[in-house]
């Protein structure tokens, strides 16, 4: 629940009125508010602090959020539309701010009653003000979990060489210079991340403290790091003035500070100086190779770099509109410097993210071309390697992408982005349960004590999911429950927990009820909708399965999503059972195309299922035999296959039964080997 809602008095009413007149303008910030009130910036800061106990940025944010609550309750606008109307260019950032302020995301505002929240102003501590409140849902992450890192500790000791770079503050009178100050913060972070001897908290984690009123010791407890970097700066003409300080987290003691005054042409030198000075102060070892990485200039063209920073700022904000604008800036940068590898890499990465879940991918060739240019001009750059991996994945050449991802991690061992990408890669694109667990554990250990409860929840979720896929039921439940302990409304944790309980109880009816409960919270969750249909199928409730599958298909087709093609055989089977013959035939044909093109370890299992459906016993057995020799398959395959209604026509066939039992034995043998290794390392 919000701790400091905007107090209501004459001064606050006046500035609230000004804010509301400009509320859709995301660029309307502190300087613009001061100008509108005919006040100096410093006087505005002092006055707002005195009357509200808030910074001006916090105050502005809360006015926007209050208006958002009103729109969500009284209009038919969706969350994305509301976010833009109240000056948040990024819906995801709006949802994050809304959740932190009200205690819940905006998606469920209409489902909750209005409640009274007592707040106190500096003028009258006993004055009660009514504020609307509600509970919401988290944004759906389609088909995979793009999760970043870490876990909040209970009683862990602070790691000695660990650091967080807090968001730098723009002190320029021109708010359009925000991108430059953000770029300096980003470069400082990136340079520090190249140092293997230092554990560095990701930008995503630090971003939540941009407008915080928490003290450094309070943030220290949440992130469990030893040091913090704070910065503020402004651009005046062609000069950058940047103040940077290094703070000891536990004591809030300032260890080092410096003011840099540099011409914009010296921006790269400035970035290098900051990173080296910080590393020297905390006695971090920087290898010669790491020094070379830090000193490498991304470009010699300052105008190109300025355009790059503008694009990067929009890319971080997110949403399709901003991503498209970011690409424009990156392209303009490459026009000024034809060998700007980092810009080429970011173009490819941005195109990939725009189309990641689209069936009709329009930019595959462009992704590949820009990634190749990035590699040509700098084959040892993280962005070059990651963009090449994405280009191959866009073409579904998943196996070829692996060495580029692993090399990217080698060059940047602290990259939560690459580790998370590898974990999800082995979960989704090239399923391999052993490697999925390996990278999930690596991400967990890398920043086991670094983040807020929300991201900790998702880190535990990923690890719990990896554990259940390897057959560790109790251990998985432990981490899923930890995930819910950090964030009790995590919808994906409750979703997976329903299936973990099924692994314990084999109670399909209970599983379906749990899934229905989650679906009712967010009826856009077509992933849950598909699984409700599947559980109904396993219960042989084909009419019920058909109802859910039809709703799922409507969403998939209307949004042109390239997801769950591997389920088309099951859906086609159900459609046939309820008399939808034409729909069934189309789905089965699509499934066959998918099966023949599939290059995953499940290809032979998929084909075996197809031939069982077609009544071709010989080919069904042949492909099951091939599948029985595969390692690192998901536990769900072993768990569900025996009771699959599709298997009834063949499960008692001696040869088929033998090969299926061979597959089970192979899985459990691998499980025991992995268990021994993990127990030996103290991970189980």
The counts of H helices and E strands in the chain are 31, 6
Average of per-residue pLDDT across 630-634 = 88
Distance from C-alpha of 216 to C-alpha of 223, rounded to nearest angstrom: 10
Q: 301: which 2 tokens?
A: 């063209």
Distance CA(222)–CA(56), nearest Å, equals 24
DSSP 287-320: -HHHHHHHH--S-S-HHHHHHHHHHHHHHHH-SH
Across 66-80, 345-359, 404-418, 437-451, least confident range: 437-451
What does the pLDDT look like over 653-684, one tens digit per residue?
Answer: 999 999 999 999 999 998 998 888 777 766 66
Q: Which residue has the tokens 């355009």?
A: 307
Query: What is the per-residue pLDDT for 240?
Result: 85
Quote the tokens at residue 110: 């209409």
Looking at residue 8, its pLDDT comes to 43
DSSP collapsed to 3 states, 403-426? HHHHHHHHHCCCCHHHHHHHHHHH
All residues at 6 or more sequence positions from 581 whose CB lies less than 8 Å from its CB, including other chains: 575
List alpha helices for 337-415, DSSP H: 341-355, 364-377, 382-394, 398-411
CB atoms within 10 A of CB 27: 13
pLDDT tier for residue 203 given thresholds of 50, 70 and 90: low
Least confident of 58-62, 208-212, 451-455: 451-455
154 exposure class (CB count in 10 Å sphere: 0-12, 13-18, 19+): exposed
C-alpha closest to that of 548 among 565, 536, 566, 562: 536
pLDDT band at 568 (very low <50, low <70, confident <90, very high): very high
H helix or E strand, kind and range, residue 260: strand 253-263
Overall average pLDDT of the 561-573 stretch: 91
Q: In the structure, what pLDDT confidence band is assigned to residue 143 with cuts at 50, 70 and 90?
A: very low
**Of 32-46, 88-102, 370-384, which gets the smallest average pLDDT?**
88-102
Give me the phi and psi of 399, to 5 degrees please. -60, -40
Q: Which helix (H) or strand (E) holds 246?
A: strand 239-248
Q: Give the count of beta carbons closer than 10 Å to the beta carbon of residue 594.
A: 17
Here the tokens at position 352 are 């990939």
Taking 70 as the threshold, does the pLDDT of residue 575 lie above it? yes
> What is residue 202's predicted lDDT score, i.e. its pLDDT?
67
Length of the chain, in residues: 684
- Residue 453: what pLDDT? 64
In the predicted model, what is the mean pLDDT of residues 93-100? Answer: 74
User: pLDDT at position 545, please?
Assistant: 95
Say if CB 102 and CB 133 are below 8 A apart. Answer: yes
**Helix or strand holding residue 664 (H, E):** helix 654-680
DSSP state of 356: T
Quick one: pLDDT band at residue 497, thresholds 50, 70, 90?
very high
Q: What is the pLDDT of residue 242?
A: 85
pLDDT digit string, tens, across residues 317-349: 767 888 999 999 999 999 999 999 999 999 999
Name the helix (H) or strand (E) containing 656: helix 654-680
Instruction: Specify the range with the lowest mean pLDDT, choosing from 104-113, 542-551, 589-598.
Output: 104-113
Average pLDDT over every residue of 92-111: 73
For residues 90-105, give the mean pLDDT.
73
Give all domains of the chain, ordered by start, each with its CATH number: 10-111 (1.10.10.60), 162-295 (3.40.50.10610), 302-412 (1.25.40.10), 476-676 (1.25.40.10)
Q: Compute CA 89 distance to the chain's CA centroid, rounded to the nearest angstrom.
A: 18
pTM above 0.85, yes or no: no
């Amino acid at each position: 629940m919000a701790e400091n809602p905007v107090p209501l008095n004459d001064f606050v009413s006046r500035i609230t009125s000004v804010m509301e007149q400009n509320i859709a303008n995301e660029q309307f910030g502190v300087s613009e508010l001061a100008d509108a009130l005919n006040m100096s910036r410093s006087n505005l800061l002092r006055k707002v602090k005195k009357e509200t106990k808030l910074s001006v940025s916090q105050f502005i944010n809360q006015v926007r959020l209050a208006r958002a609550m009103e729109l969500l309750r009284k209009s038919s606008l969706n969350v994305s539309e509301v976010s833009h109307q109240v000056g948040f260019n990024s819906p995801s950032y709006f949802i994050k701010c809304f959740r932190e302020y009200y205690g819940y995301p905006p998606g469920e505002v209409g489902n909750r009653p209005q409640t009274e929240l007592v707040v106190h102003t500096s003028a009258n501590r006993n004055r009660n003000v009514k504020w609307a409140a509600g509970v919401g849902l988290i944004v759906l992450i389609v088909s995979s979990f793009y999760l970043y890192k870490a876990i909040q500790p209970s009683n862990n000791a602070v790691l000695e060489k660990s650091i967080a770079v807090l968001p730098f503050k723009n002190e320029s009178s021109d708010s359009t210079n925000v991108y430059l100050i953000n770029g300096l913060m980003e470069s400082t972070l990136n340079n520090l991340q190249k140092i293997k001897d230092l554990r560095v908290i990701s930008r995503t984690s630090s971003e939540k403290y941009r407008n915080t009123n928490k003290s450094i010791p309070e943030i220290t407890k949440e992130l469990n790091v030893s040091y913090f970097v704070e910065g503020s700066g402004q651009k005046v003409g062609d000069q950058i003035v940047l103040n940077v300080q290094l703070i000891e987290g536990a004591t809030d003691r300032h260890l080092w500070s410096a003011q840099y005054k540099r011409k914009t042409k010296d921006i790269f030198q400035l970035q290098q100086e900051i990173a080296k000075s910080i590393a020297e102060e905390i006695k971090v070892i920087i290898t010669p190779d790491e020094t070379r990485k830090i000193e490498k200039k991304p470009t010699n063209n300052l105008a190109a770099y300025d355009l790059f920073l503008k694009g990067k700022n929009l890319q971080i904000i997110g949403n399709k509109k901003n991503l498209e604008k970011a690409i424009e800036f990156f392209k303009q940068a490459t026009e000024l410097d034809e060998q700007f590898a980092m810009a080429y890499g970011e173009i490819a990465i941005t195109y990939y993210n725009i189309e990641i879940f689209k069936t009709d991918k329009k930019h595959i060739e462009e992704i590949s071309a820009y990634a190749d240019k990035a590699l040509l001009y700098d084959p040892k750059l993280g962005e070059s390697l990651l963009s090449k991996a994405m280009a191959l994945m866009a073409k579904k050449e998943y196996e070829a992408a692996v060495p580029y991802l692993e090399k990217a991690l080698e060059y940047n061992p602290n990259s939560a982005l690459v580790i998370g990408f590898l974990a999800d890669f082995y979960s989704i694109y090239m399923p391999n349960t052993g490697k999925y667990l390996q990278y999930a554990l690596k991400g967990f250990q890398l920043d086991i004590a670094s983040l807020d409860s929300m991201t900790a929840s998702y880190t535990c979720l990923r690890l719990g999911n990896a554990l259940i896929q390897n057959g560790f039921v109790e251990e998985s439940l432990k981490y899923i429950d930890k995930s819910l302990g950090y964030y009790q409304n995590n919808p994906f944790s409750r979703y997976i927990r329903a299936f973990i309980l099924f692994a314990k109880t084999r109670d399909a009816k209970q599983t379906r009820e749990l899934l229905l409960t989650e679906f009712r919270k967010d009826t856009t969750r077509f992933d849950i909708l598909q699984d409700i249909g599947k559980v109904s199928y396993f219960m042989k409730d084909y009419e019920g399965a058909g109802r859910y599958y039809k709703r799922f298909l409507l969403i998939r087709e209307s949004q042109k999503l390239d997801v769950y093609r591997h389920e088309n055989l099951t859906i086609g089977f159900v459609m046939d059972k309820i008399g939808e013959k034409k729909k069934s035939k189309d789905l089965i044909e699509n499934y066959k195309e998918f099966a023949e093109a599939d290059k995953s370890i499940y290809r032979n299992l998929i084909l075996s299922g197809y031939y069982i459906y077609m009544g071709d016993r010989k080919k069904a057995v042949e492909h099951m035999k091939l599948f029985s020799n595969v390692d690192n398959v998901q536990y769900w395959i072993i768990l569900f296959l025996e009771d699959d209604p599709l298997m009834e026509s063949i499960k008692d066939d001696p040869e088929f039964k033998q090969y299926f039992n061979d597959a089970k034995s192979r899985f459990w043998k691998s499980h025991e080997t992995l268990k021994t290794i993990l127990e030996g390392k103290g991970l189980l």
